[in-house]
Amino acid sequence: MLNKKKGLHLEISGSTMLPLSRQVGTNLGQLSWIVATRSFGYMITVILFGILFPSMTKNHSELMLSVGYLFPAAGFYFSLF
């Protein structure tokens, strides 16, 4: 399911690259670096969290749970004002 979502995401951004290149005045070769860089960053993030996340959840599960509640609460609080 995740691979289908990632492919759909790249398809949406890929289909808008031609109008975007016209709008910003660059060629498609320069804009393709955006998709490549985003994919590379996604891959590195998945690998790093795959290595770090199991040890973090084993050692600091209560901290991760509290941060998981704290960040959305703070985001909700500050979005009201």
Condensed to tens digits (0 to 9), the pLDDT of residues 30-75 reads 887 877 887 788 888 888 878 877 777 777 778 877 888 888 888 8
On whether the CB atoms of residues 33 and 62 are closer than 8 A, the answer is no
**What is the reported pLDDT for 11?**
56
> What pLDDT sits at residue 16?
76
17 or 10: which leads in pLDDT: 17
Q: Where are the alpha helices (DSSP H) in the chain?
A: 2-15, 17-24, 28-59, 61-79
Asked if residue 25 lies in contact with residue 14, where contact means CB atoms within 8 angstroms, the answer is no
pLDDT band at 24 (very low <50, low <70, confident <90, very high): confident
Vertex 50 angle, CA 10 and 58, to 5°: 145
